[in-house]
Amino acid sequence: MYKGSFSLSTTEPMHLVDITSEVQKQVSQTGIEEGICHLFNPHTTAGLTINEGADPAVRTDIIRGLREIVPIDYPYKHMEGNSPSHIMASLMGASLSIMVSSNLLQLGTWQAIYFCEFDGPRTRSVHWQLLASS
């Protein structure tokens, strides 16, 4: 089993950051040919998702859609004022699992891995673990 973490800095209050190349770099350095890569985001106001990576408008549409689903101006009780960020993070989820074959992430042609920032800008981290197939 191999594991590690990497950091990233977000630049906007809400932003989907493509982390595909960083995750692939971490996988490649292990030399593992076959297995499962688990990703975990240890932040309560950010998430992880896999979605289209070819058209940047998709990222904008996802954020706009989430803003429609989760109202920013609802009278939330959380004192910090970032309840919408917590809800959006819960909708996206905190972890992903991706198959690895021939030392490559097995993503579809149009897929990318995104770190979903909902309470930025901040410095964040992503933990990964690669379990090799026997």
Tens-digit pLDDT profile for residues 62-78: 999 999 999 988 899 99
> Which backbone phi and psi does 125 adopt, to 5 degrees?
-135, 155
Residue 134 pLDDT more than 90? no
Question: What domains are defined for the chain?
Answer: 2-132 (2.60.120.460)
- 79 confidence band (pLDDT: 50, 70, 90): confident
pLDDT tens profile 91-123:
999 999 999 999 999 999 999 999 999 999 999
CA distance 124 to 41: 9
